[in-house]
């Protein structure tokens, strides 16, 4: 095992090489095809005994493609399989990542589908794991159709970040990538999300244990797998984690996560430039009015470099969806976007936000009620107008625990 110990801004991280944006491949113009601005949504389906992957496709009018998609993937091992993220390349091939139960514990599971929903089982359908639970949480694709997957790996004592790179044919780069990263002390470190900027640099975010609490960690890699810079934030008085990341056309980095005073969990939004300097004008914290943490902190950037965020906020007797929008300079649109949305059924929890190429905003998540959950899918214009005629969907599989975790738009 080749081990590199790197000191950046006073922080040590161990990087090990083992036998090793947003969801679309880049911020470029869409190809002209009948898939433009269609979306893929992934998550979990409760089959009555355990959980399976659930993958759905909708056109821009909200009509579901049930002929080619509506895919349920079951490992067949009588355990929970969960799809956590989806990414789409420039040729509209779809990559889905998550977990599968192997009969004893969970492994990474990575699949590739064509635009028509046909799975590539020859080069993909990959699993990775060890002797305990390992989870793939995030995926991104660059302009050369390289695929980056991030999550965690059990090292025998606790969890480390795990980052892998593949080409479009499923060939893994074990020379420069297959990286594991751990923090200063023993504790569970997890990479939750990844994005690729316009220069094919890779930004990975997540949480790491600093010896007392969990803190944000933001790492920028070159395309060769070398660390350009690493930043940490928070974790001084309570557990804090970065959960979602997005970049704009100038390669500025926006990160959403939680911060806490020990009593209340807040939504936090932070901005770093491509050189790793934090923009102090984006020191934004929003009170969710609760210490319950669904880890539902989302961020996305549209083609106009405007920023969208969502979390859940405790209002009256349950949690409501709380959506926000900001200018590139950090000024919040209070009139049309600073709103809570209540299903009047239970806790409304967002999981992911994505923008299509005409700046429509899609939000997905789930509604928790009566010991079960249903998917929900919403669509908004950039001005904040919700399409309640064609969208505002609730999806119930089998009356159990169904949750949508990620959404991505075709180009």
Range name among 102-106, 113-117, 119-123, 210-214 with the lowest pLDDT average: 210-214
Q: What is the mean pLDDT of the chain?
A: 90
For residue 85, the cross-strand partners are 97
Q: Is the CA virtual torsion 363, 368, 369, 371 positive or negative?
A: positive
- Would you state the structure tokens that stand for residue 345, as one six-digit string? 């059924």
What helix, strand, coil percent values describe the chain, rounded to 5?
Answer: 0, 50, 50
pLDDT at 10 over 70: no
- Asked whether 148 and 165 are in contact (CB, 8 A), the reply is yes
96 — phi, psi (to 5°)?
-120, 135
pLDDT at 24 over 80: no
Domains along the chain with CATH numbers: 2-409 (2.120.10.80)
Q: Average pLDDT in the 262-268 region?
A: 85
pLDDT tens-digit map of 64-74? 999 999 999 99
Q: Average pLDDT in the 38-61 region?
A: 97
Long-range pairs, 376-383, Cβ under 8 A, ≥24: 376/343, 376/348, 376/404, 377/41, 377/58, 377/404, 377/407, 378/321, 378/341, 379/62, 380/323, 382/302, 382/304, 382/306, 383/336
Q: Average pLDDT in the 373-394 region?
A: 96
pLDDT tens-digit map of 126-140? 999 988 999 999 999
DSSP string, 294-353: ----EEEE-TTS-EEEEEEEEETTEEEEEEEEE-TTS-B-TTTTSEEE--SSSEEEEEEE
pTM: 0.92
């Amino acid at each position: 095992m080749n081990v590199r110990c790197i000191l950046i801004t006073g922080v040590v991280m161990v990087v090990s090489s083992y036998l090793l944006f947003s969801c679309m491949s880049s911020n470029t113009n869409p190809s002209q095809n009948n898939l433009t601005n269609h979306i893929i949504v992934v998550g979990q389906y409760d089959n009555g005994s355990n959980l399976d992957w659930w993958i759905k496709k909708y056109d821009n009018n909200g009509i579901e493609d049930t002929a080619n998609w509506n895919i349920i993937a079951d490992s067949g091992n009588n355990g929970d399989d969960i799809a956590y993220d989806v990414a789409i390349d420039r040729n509209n091939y779809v990559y889905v990542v998550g977990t599968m139960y192997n009969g004893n514990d969970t492994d990474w599971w990575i699949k590739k589908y064509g635009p028509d929903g046909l799975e590539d089982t020859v080069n993909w359908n990959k699993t990775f794991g060890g002797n305990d639970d390992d989870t793939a949480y995030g995926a991104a694709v660059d302009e050369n159709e390289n695929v980056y997957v991030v999550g965690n790996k059990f090292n025998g004592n606790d969890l480390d970040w795990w980052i892998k790179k593949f080409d479009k044919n499923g060939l893994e780069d074990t020379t420069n990538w297959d990286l594991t990263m751990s923090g200063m002390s023993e504790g569970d470190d997890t990479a939750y999300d990844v994005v690729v900027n316009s220069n094919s640099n890779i930004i990975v975010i997540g949480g790491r244990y600093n010896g007392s609490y969990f803190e944000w960690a933001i790492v920028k890699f070159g395309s060769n797998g070398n660390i350009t810079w690493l930043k940490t934030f928070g974790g001084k008085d309570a557990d804090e984690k970065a959960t979602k990341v997005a970049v704009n056309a100038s390669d500025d980095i926006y990160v959403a996560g939680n911060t806490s005073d020990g009593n209340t969990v807040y939504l936090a939004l932070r901005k770093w430039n491509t050189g790793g300097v934090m923009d102090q004008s984006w020191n934004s914290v929003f009170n969710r009015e609760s210490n319950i943490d669904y880890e539902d902190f989302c961020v996305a950037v549209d083609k106009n470099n405007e920023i969208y965020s969502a979390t859940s906020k405790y209002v009256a007797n349950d949690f409501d969806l709380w959506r926000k929008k900001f200018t590139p300079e950090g000024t919040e649109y209070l009139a049309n976007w600073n709103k809570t949305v209540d299903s009047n059924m239970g806790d409304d929890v967002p999981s992911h936000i994505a923008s299509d190429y005409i700046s429509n905003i899609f939000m997905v998540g789930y509604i928790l009620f009566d010991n079960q959950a249903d998917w929900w899918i919403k669509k908004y214009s950039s001005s904040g107008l919700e399409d309640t005629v064609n969208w505002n969907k609730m999806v119930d599989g089998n009356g159990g625990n169904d949750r949508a975790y990620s959404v991505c738009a075709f180009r």
